[in-house]
Amino acid sequence: MINEAIVEQAALDWLGNLDYEVLPGLTIVPGEPAAERTDYRQVFLFDRLRAKLEDLNPQIPLAGREEALRKLRLISHPTLIENNRAFHRLLVEGVDVEYRRSLPHPDPLPKGEGRDSGETVHDKVWLIDFAHPEANEFLAVNQFTVEEGQFNRRADVVIFINGIPLAVLELKNIADESATLRKAFDQFLTYKAQIPALFHSNALLVISDGHQAKLGTITSDWERFMTWRTVTGKELGPPGALQLDTLLKGVFEKSRLLDLVRNFVVFEDNGEAVVKKLAGYHQFHAVNKAVEATLRAAGVAANPLARSSRREKAHSNSPAENQSLVTSAATDINVGDRRAGVIWHTQGSGKSLSMVLYAGKIVQHPAMENPTLVVLTDRNDLDDQLFGTFSACKELLRQTPVQAESREHLRELLNVASGGVVFSTIQKFFPDEKGGKHPLLSDRRNIVVIADETHRSQHDFIDGFAKHIRDELPNASFIGFTGTPIESGDRNTQAVFGDYIDVYDILQSKEDKATVPIYYEARLAKIDLKPEERPKIDPNFEEVTEDAEEATKESLRRKWAQLEAMVGTDKRIALVVEDLVTHWEARYAAMEGKAMVMCMSRRICVELYKAIQKLRPDWHQDDDDKGVMKIVMSGSASDKLDWQQHIRSKARREGLAKAFKNPKKPFRIVIVRDMWLTGFDAPSLHTMYVDKPMRGHGLMQAIARVNRVF
């Protein structure tokens, strides 16, 4: 009969097969012959840690190593997440110590000691050797009892590296209907509250019933514990496979575990709260492929990454078949061609985080020799949003990103010998005058251009932005990230960026529950005009694109003027608003959350707001911190007077964004024309009202605002 002990033993056996030392927790408790703990409050195995510090840091004398241990013990912050963050920094960056240099002496002295030379030395003590996994000690201990205050709790399995508790497994019995994964998750909540010392150094939490298994961090809520569906990243585990087996082999293989801990953990700090995030399996393997592809593109890779050029098949294949597109060998890839490739990870699956993780790993790669990263977007608000994400994760980047404010500022930021993470809209690479040319900014090969949404404006080689970037940074390598597939007939993207590096499509994302399904409901408010009243409209004109600059937008506005006039009639707006308010109130009563309304123009946004205010006057408040609804749009002092209350500074718009993302804030309905339609992540946003013509990738990006897990 299956019970929890059998699940636990299976986990230990799998870890043993990964060459972990496995010990029963009862053999190392105080009072036992093989005791490794002085009491149950001690969660580190200090004898093991001391021994490994000496092995890994032979140049550091005993006093320096003890200073490092003292700093570990002195970590003391009011919250668990701050303690965990402080420890993680020491783990991945080393512990700064200082000591007096010792000189050799003919008389024998204890190892690591010598005569004082009088010179103070500043150095680092490393807790783990990340470059050489086998130099570390990996240990799995079951039934690990911890006492803290009045509480006594016992963890099922604790994973130690060099005596440091870095992972905890909570296991349940699959045969017991009441012993669910949710129970294991709830147990972690109890442990974190009652024995937080065990989690100060924690990197990973695992919950499993032997079949199902999920991975998270100390701040992950239930929805953010995710499955790990592959071992090597080359193929997904077969249907019916034991998820715990796949997770342990995929995550806890020694080299992958150290890579995950060092390069794929971020502490996202928005100034109000800190959230610890861990890469999903698709992000982990995609980023590693992207790093290898970048080294190849820059001409410093020993083994070029093989990728297929059969891009079109990715649009209709299964997830497993899509993965084969990026892992099958290609023989026509040239080292140093400066085209790293494209990562297509569907909207809502963590594309922005993948970009951060990629940047964090590539900047540290020794072969890149302290590269400069240029992060490109094609809209100011998207640039702000992505810059905010990178800034919140600056610890992983080991530097603070900088946002170019003008063409001149961009040139100044790129005119450096090395280093830097620079954000810019692609329009800043346009010359000052039409037909002009930017000067050569740098011919270094260790510059990487990271483009968000590769298939919009970046590939216009004739007289477009990509040409100017190539002129100014001729030896830079290009990599693209997109949330929507490249159109099958698009050959320009391949010419600029190369082929797919990795594909994580909508189907795979839904299977992993990384995103939620989107349901469409038609709610038509017809444009009711007599034939003679209808102005002639060219049926083939392009929609107003989100990536157009102001001059282009003015031209497109003229094209749209007649249609906008019909869509924005008082009669039609009244019909739309009556339906919207009725629908939203019923929707909100059934499911609390937030809504976004997309309008065709700023004028219609304002008129729609006024109409809603007439029906529900209490939804309006002048104060940004109050009220149910707001308009988020750009504008200037030359706009109409009744628009001015809705035109806010960048700082005020950022304040509204924070309020909208917070499910506890009363701001529940946002009305937009084009802002917040790409790169904006608000998990509590579950309803979108679309009242503007949209198509293609613009439509896919917009509706993906409501596919987030919440």
Residue 318 CB coordination number (10 Å): 12
Looking at the predicted structure, is the pLDDT value of residue 199 above 90? yes
pLDDT of residue 506: 77
CATH number of the domain where residue 504 is located: 3.40.50.300
92: pLDDT confidence band, cut at 50, 70 and 90? very high
CB 609 within 8 A of CB 632: no
Looking at the fold, whether 14 and 73 belong to one and the same domain comes out as yes
The amino acid at residue 540 is N
pLDDT of residue 313: 43
Domain closes at, from 232, 263, 294 = 263
Whether 150 maps to a domain, the answer reads: yes
- Most confident listed range (109-113, 128-132, 175-179): 128-132
Looking at the predicted structure, is the pLDDT value of residue 375 above 90? yes
Domain closes at, from 464, 483, 511 = 511
Looking at the fold, whether 240 and 339 belong to one and the same domain comes out as no
Looking at the fold, whether 462 and 422 belong to one and the same domain comes out as yes
Whether 116 maps to a domain, the answer reads: no
Whether 625 maps to a domain, the answer reads: yes
pLDDT of residue 12: 96
Looking at the fold, whether 320 and 445 belong to one and the same domain comes out as yes
CB 634 within 8 A of CB 675: yes
Whether 665 maps to a domain, the answer reads: yes
**pLDDT tens digits for range 403-429:** 999 888 998 999 898 999 999 988 888
423 three-class SS: strand
Name the helix (H) or strand (E) containing 362. helix 351-362
Q: In whole angstroms, give the CA distance from residue 689 to residue 608.
A: 12
CB 432 within 8 A of CB 356: no
Q: In whole angstroms, give the CA distance from residue 144 to residue 138.
A: 16
Q: In whole angstroms, give the CA distance from residue 531 to residue 572.
A: 17
pLDDT of residue 237: 83
- Closest to 697 in 3D by CA, of 424, 551, 480: 480
Question: Can you name the residues that pair with 448 across neighbouring β-strands?
Answer: 373, 477
**pLDDT tens digits for range 147-174:** 999 999 999 999 999 999 999 999 988 7
Looking at the fold, whether 204 and 317 belong to one and the same domain comes out as no
Looking at the fold, whether 541 and 421 belong to one and the same domain comes out as no
CB 215 within 8 A of CB 261: no
The number of domains in the chain is 3
Question: Can you name the residues that pair with 302 across neighbouring β-strands?
Answer: none
Looking at the predicted structure, is the pLDDT value of residue 492 above 50? yes
pLDDT of residue 142: 97
Residue-wise DSSP of 551-593 = HHHHHHHHHHHHHHHHHT-HHHHHHHHHHHHHHHHHHHHHS--
Produce one character per residue of 520-543: b if its CB has 16 or more CB atoms within 10 Å, e if not. eeeeebeeeeeeeeeeeeeeeeeb
pLDDT of residue 524: 60
Q: In whole angstroms, give the CA distance from residue 689 to residue 587.
A: 12
Name the helix (H) or strand (E) containing 17. helix 4-17
pLDDT of residue 310: 35
- Which distant-in-sequence residues (6+ apart) come within 8 Å of 19 by Cβ? 138, 254
Looking at the fold, whether 500 and 539 belong to one and the same domain comes out as no
**pLDDT tens digits for range 23-41:** 999 999 999 999 999 999 9
- The bridge status of strand 421-425 relative to strand 402-403 is parallel
Burial degree of 646 (CB within 10 A; 0-12, 13-18, 19+) = middle
Q: In whole angstroms, give the CA distance from residue 591 to residue 708.
A: 15
Looking at the fold, whether 461 and 535 belong to one and the same domain comes out as no
- The 3 state secondary structure assigned to 249-303 is HHHCCHHHHHHHHHHCEEEEECCCCEEEEECCHHHHHHHHHHHHHHHHHCCCCCC
Looking at the predicted structure, is the pLDDT value of residue 479 above 60? yes
CB 179 within 8 A of CB 209: yes
Q: How much of the chain, in percent, has pLDDT values that exceed 90?
A: 54
Range scoring the smallest mean pLDDT among 109-113, 481-485, 681-685: 109-113
**Interior CA angle at 377 toward 376 and 383, to 5°?**
105
Better pLDDT: 361 or 239? 361
**Residues 372-383: what's their mean pLDDT?**
87
Helices (H), 442-516: 465-472, 492-497, 506-511
**Interior CA angle at 351 toward 348 and 356, to 5°?**
140
Looking at the fold, whether 446 and 535 belong to one and the same domain comes out as no
Residue-wise DSSP of 174-219 = TT-TTS-HHHHHHHHHHHHHH-GGGGTT--EEEEESSSSEEEE-TT
**pLDDT tens digits for range 229-283:** 999 999 888 777 889 999 999 999 999 999 999 999 999 987 888 999 999 999 9
DSSP designation for 29? S
Looking at the predicted structure, is the pLDDT value of residue 400 above 70? yes
CA–CA distance from 339 to each of 20, 135, 342, 625, 683 (Å)?
A: 40, 36, 9, 46, 34
- Closest to 171 in 3D by CA, of 360, 22, 6, 304: 6
Domain closes at, from 444, 479, 511 = 511
- Closest to 48 in 3D by CA, of 32, 37, 39: 37
Whether 271 maps to a domain, the answer reads: no
- Most confident listed range (194-203, 230-239, 552-561, 675-684): 194-203
Better pLDDT: 128 or 708? 128
Tokens at 297, concatenated: 């593109």
Domain range for 546: 531-706
Whether 279 maps to a domain, the answer reads: no
Residue 186 CB coordination number (10 Å): 14
Name the helix (H) or strand (E) containing 602. helix 602-615
Q: In whole angstroms, give the CA distance from residue 410 to residue 403.
A: 8
CB 305 within 8 A of CB 289: yes
Alpha carbons within 13 A on the beta-carbon side of 160: 24
Name the helix (H) or strand (E) containing 258. helix 254-263
Whether 112 maps to a domain, the answer reads: no
Whether 108 maps to a domain, the answer reads: no
Query: Rounded to two decimals, what is the model's pTM?
Result: 0.76
- Closest to 447 in 3D by CA, of 356, 376, 393: 376
Burial degree of 132 (CB within 10 A; 0-12, 13-18, 19+) = exposed
Q: How far is C-alpha 129 from the geometric centre of its chain's CA atoms?
A: 26
Looking at the fold, whether 366 and 479 belong to one and the same domain comes out as yes
Q: In whole angstroms, give the CA distance from residue 421 to residue 372.
A: 6
Q: In whole angstroms, give the CA distance from residue 193 to residue 483.
A: 38
Can you say whether the dihedral through the CA atoms of 97, 98, 103, 105 is positive or negative?
negative
Name the helix (H) or strand (E) containing 13. helix 4-17
pLDDT of residue 707: 63
Range scoring the smallest mean pLDDT among 247-251, 396-400, 566-570: 566-570
Looking at the predicted structure, is the pLDDT value of residue 18 above 90? yes
CB 406 within 8 A of CB 385: no
Report residue 680: phi and psi, to 5°: -105, 120
pLDDT of residue 467: 74
550: pLDDT confidence band, cut at 50, 70 and 90? very low
Range scoring the smallest mean pLDDT among 214-223, 605-614, 696-705: 696-705
Looking at the fold, whether 616 and 694 belong to one and the same domain comes out as yes
Looking at the fold, whether 546 and 498 belong to one and the same domain comes out as no
**Residues 108-119: what's their mean pLDDT?**
56
CA–CA distance from 340 to each of 291, 295, 479, 542 (Å)?
A: 9, 8, 5, 31
**pLDDT tens digits for range 507-533:** 887 777 766 666 667 666 555 545 544
pLDDT of residue 547: 41
Q: In whole angstroms, give the CA distance from residue 71 to residue 95.
A: 8
Looking at the predicted structure, is the pLDDT value of residue 559 above 70? no
pLDDT of residue 569: 82
Residue-wise DSSP of 228-250 = --BSSSSSBPPTT--HHHHHHHH
pLDDT of residue 309: 37
CB 25 within 8 A of CB 143: yes
Question: Can you name the residues that pair with 140 across neighbouring β-strands?
Answer: 22, 159
Q: In whole angstroms, give the CA distance from residue 504 to residue 517.
A: 15
pLDDT of residue 285: 97
Range scoring the smallest mean pLDDT among 104-118, 218-232, 542-556, 577-591: 542-556
pLDDT of residue 525: 57
Q: In whole angstroms, give the CA distance from residue 396 to residue 358.
A: 10
Looking at the predicted structure, is the pLDDT value of residue 437 above 90? no
